[in-house]
């Protein structure tokens, strides 16, 4: 019986099977909720029905609520009403889980009398990662199944729990051995005439110190964000309040958070990440199969790329110039897996299997079997061109030739080959096996097939792809360079490195720009500036302070000193009077009288510099869509995800206000500043 487009009822003798069919992920939309409520009403008075099974069609149960509804008033029936109907129904209701039961999907399952899952299913309540909390009883029912400390840990982290672990924690009642549908029906029959509501279970007894410890850990990991606080507060209510009163408080907190700016920003980032993985090439081109990956260079970046590829199941060959460099690189990879095993994060057998797929070589003919070759050598155009000339000779026809370049002209690299259509940029971020972002850079001749293959490769690596056209710095480094340059302007005008870093870390950046510079090495940007010196506009404003630090041998953490002084490798930073002296001398040489710069001005100018450059990237067609810029900055450059990204930050302002602020920034920045068109940051005003 079809109740609507998403819900139907099937019969298996005395058991009613309610099927949720809302592809692709059975999101808990209004139509799903309405259909579920109608289904319960349809069968609860049917004397021929002794039990009910709720199951998802396709590849999953319910992988979450429809987030598109969260930005507007929620229409009735809302999920708590559906769950209340399930709990008040006198017939047992079994949730049959497969694929994923997340968010509202798992809350729906918690409202049932039993939960059975297919092996490989994941369950969880990830709402906090979207700036909200479970709002349909998740905080109260999970506390009754897992205990308050574990519930705090699971909800505040948004952790996805495997069916096997969920069974051990009591989050589900059974793992199906063969057929999920058949075993769910059998379980419903076993429960005939018996309800087993989670709401009626006692909260497991625990001491206050374990709750405090779990809360403190969750707040540290969750950066003390409002949703983390709210989740802890609501879960803790399970110990002191009757469930009906606690559910009222939970729903109130959910509704308040749902409409907050932070939740809007996180939903924006969620959809932006999903959109960034899409590209017209996927609609027109068939990805090439990849099994064998060759990495040229076994330094820190090359080894990280090799680890990422091994973790994804590829056969990996690593090529180096001599035995010493190769041995060092292979040891780096093997030591990584050894440390993972020692830490209990990887089984020894899995580490051995990855090692078996790793091969080191000095012989360029090794590349001949590779489907994808990734160059990860020194960031120098001439060196990269030399590598690609060799690759053109030894790589098989149809192999993809990728450069892990941060700045270099991809078209200039492709031009030295006879197959520019097969050349692409794969810009990994260090450490490559940890950082999520992967910039996919297409040149003028890169084929759609190669772009589509690169996107598929990113998915295999569990990376977040962002596609960029070929331009100096691509998307991420271009934006970051503008941001860093503006911070250097403020340094020259009167701010200190520690003040700038503190202001931007207070805004939410993982690290301030000068701390980042010290960590990555000041000589990297120095070499880049030197390579561009001949083409730099002599009239453009240029801050020489970073150059003076490098000339003084202050290259950052690795030399023990940069913008800060470091007592030992990995040690804490502290301000250095010598840096203050260098900055004061640079100001005096230009006749600059330092002024007081407030933290608000620091933050505003840094963000405006990013958004101005974002507008230029959109004008030039470097970024495919505005939200891709936000994805890049959040996933690769430490921009706080709860702020959505620089474009989201700009789009929350009035366009006229932003235009005035761009004028203000241009005046402060002086000669050489290129002003962007703020209209580009507002989709309704941008040419498509």
Enumerate the active-site residues.
Answer: 107, 127
Place of tokens 């510079």: 517
Paired sense of beta strands 423-428 and 315-319, if any:
unpaired
In 3D space, the residue among 306, 350, 349 whose CA is nearest the CA of residue 331 turns out to be 306
3-state DSSP call for residue 53?
strand
Q: How far apart are CA 626 and CA 391, in angstroms?
A: 35
Neighbours of 558 (CB within 10 A): 15
Radius of gyration for the chain, computed over Cα atoms and rounded to the nearest angstrom: 28
Query: What are the two backbone dihedrals, phi and then psi, of residue 123, each rounded to the nearest 5 degrees?
Result: -125, 155
Q: Order the strands of the 93-97 sheet from edge to edge.
A: 7-12, 15-20, 51-56, 93-97, 114-118, 174-176
- Provide the 10 A C-beta neighbour count for residue 597: 18
CA distance linking residue 254 with residue 271, whole number of Å: 20
β-strand pairing of 292-296 with 372-375:
parallel
Concatenated DSSP letters for 371-408? Answer: SEEEE---S-HHHHHHHHHHHHHHSPTT-EEEE--SSS
Q: What are phi and psi of 631, to 5 degrees?
A: -60, -45
Nearest to 377 by CA among 463, 291, 302, 289: 302
- Please tell me the distance from the alpha carbon of residue 390 to that of residue 373, in angstroms, as a whole number: 12
State the Cα–Cα distance between residues 115 and 104, nearest whole angstrom: 15
CB crowding 165-177: b at 16 or more within 10 Å, else e: ebbebbbbbbbbe
Strands 437-442 and 93-97: unpaired
Q: Contact 311/283 with Cβ under 8 angstroms?
A: no
How far apart are the C-alpha atoms of 101 and 61, rounded to whole Å?
6
Q: Is the peptide bond before 24 cis (omega within 30 degrees of 0)?
A: yes
Burial class (CB in 10 A: 0-12, 13-18, 19+), 28: buried
Enumerate residues 6+ apart whose C-beta is below 8 A from 680. Answer: 614, 615, 618, 619, 626, 686
Q: Is the dihedral of CA 402, 408, 410, 413 positive or negative?
A: negative
**Structure tokens, 249:** 């408080």
Question: Cα(485)–Cα(541) distance, rounded to whole angstroms?
Answer: 10
Enter the DSSP assignment of 425: E
Give the Cα-Cα-Cα angle 223, 229, 233 (nearest 5 degrees).
Answer: 155
Q: Are 23 and 58 in contact (CB under 8 A)?
A: yes
């Amino acid at each position: 019986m079809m109740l609507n487009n998403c819900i139907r009822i099937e019969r298996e003798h005395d058991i009613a099977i309610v099927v949720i069919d809302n592809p692709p992920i059975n999101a808990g939309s209004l139509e799903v909720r309405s259909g579920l409520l109608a289904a319960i009403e349809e069968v609860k008075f049917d004397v021929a029905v002794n039990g009910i099974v709720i199951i998802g069609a396709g590849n999953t149960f319910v992988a979450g609520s429809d987030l598109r509804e969260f930005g507007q008033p929620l229409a009735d029936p809302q999920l708590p009403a559906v769950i209340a109907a399930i709990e008040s129904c006198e017939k047992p209701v079994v949730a049959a889980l497969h694929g994923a039961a997340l968010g509202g999907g798992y809350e729906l399952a918690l409202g049932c009398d039993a939960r059975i899952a297919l092996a490989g299913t994941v369950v969880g309540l990830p709402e906090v990662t979207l700036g909200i909390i479970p709002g349909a009883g998740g905080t109260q029912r999970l506390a009754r199944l897992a205990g308050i400390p574990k519930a705090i840990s699971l909800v505040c982290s948004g952790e996805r729990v495997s069916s096997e672990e969920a069974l051990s924690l009591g989050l589900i009642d059974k793992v199906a051995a063969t057929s999920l549908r058949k075993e769910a029906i059998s379980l419903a029959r076993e429960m005939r005439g018996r309800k087993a509501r989670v709401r009626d279970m006692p909260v497991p007894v625990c001491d206050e110190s374990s709750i405090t410890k779990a809360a403190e850990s969750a707040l540290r990991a969750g950066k003390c964000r409002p949703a983390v606080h709210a989740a802890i507060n609501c879960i803790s209510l399970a110990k002191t309040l009757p469930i009906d009163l606690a559910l009222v408080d939970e729903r109130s907190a959910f509704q308040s958070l749902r409409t907050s700016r932070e939740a809007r920003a996180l939903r924006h980032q969620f959809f932006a990440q999903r959109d960034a993985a899409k590209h017209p090439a996927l609609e027109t081109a068939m990805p090439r199969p990849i099994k064998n990956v060759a990495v040229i260079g076994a330094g820190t970046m090359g080894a990280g790329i090799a680890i990422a590829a091994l973790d994804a199941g590829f056969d990996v060959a690593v090529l180096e110039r001599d035995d010493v460099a190769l041995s060092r690189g292979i040891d780096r990879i093997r030591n990584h897996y050894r440390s993972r095993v020692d830490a209990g994060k990887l089984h020894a057998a899995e580490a051995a299997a990855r090692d078996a797929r790793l091969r080191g070589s000095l012989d360029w003919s090794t590349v001949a079997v590779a489907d994808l070759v990734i160059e990860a050598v020194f960031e120098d155009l001439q060196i990269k061109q030399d590598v690609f000339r060799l690759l053109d000779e030894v790589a098989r026809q149809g192999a993809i030739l990728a450069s892990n370049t941060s700045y270099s002209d991809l078209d200039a690299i492709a031009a030295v080959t006879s197959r520019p259509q097969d050349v692409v940029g794969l810009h990994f971020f260090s450490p490559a096996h940890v950082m999520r972002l992967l910039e996919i850079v297409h040149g003028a001749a890169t084929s759609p097939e190669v772009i589509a293959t690169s996107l598929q490769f990113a998915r295999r690596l569990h990376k977040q792809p962002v596609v960029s056209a070929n331009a100096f710095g691509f998307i991420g480094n271009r934006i970051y360079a503008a941001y860093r340059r503006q911070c250097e302007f403020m340094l020259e005008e009167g701010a200190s490195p520690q003040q700038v870093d503190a202001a931007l870390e207070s805004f939410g950046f993982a690290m301030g720009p000068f701390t980042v510079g010290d960590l990555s090495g000041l000589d990297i940007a120095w070499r880049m500036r030197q390579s561009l010196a001949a083409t730099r506009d002599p009239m453009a404003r240029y801050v020489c302070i970073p150059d003076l630090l490098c000339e003084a041998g202050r290259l950052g953490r690795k030399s023990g000193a940069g913008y800060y002084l470091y007592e030992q490798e990995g040690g804490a930073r502290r301000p250095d009077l010598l840096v203050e002296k260098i900055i004061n001398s640079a100001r005096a040489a230009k006749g600059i009288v330092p002024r007081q710069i407030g933290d608000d001005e620091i933050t505003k100018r840094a963000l405006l510099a990013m958004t101005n450059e974002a507008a230029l990237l959109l004008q030039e067609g470097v970024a495919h869509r505005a939200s891709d810029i936000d994805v890049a900055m959040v996933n690769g450059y430490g921009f706080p995800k709860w702020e959505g990204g620089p474009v989201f930050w700009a789009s929350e302002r009035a366009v006229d206000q932003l235009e005035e602020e761009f004028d203000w920034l241009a005046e402060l920045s002086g000669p050489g500043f290129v002003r962007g068109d703020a209209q580009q940051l507002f989709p309704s005003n941008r040419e498509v």
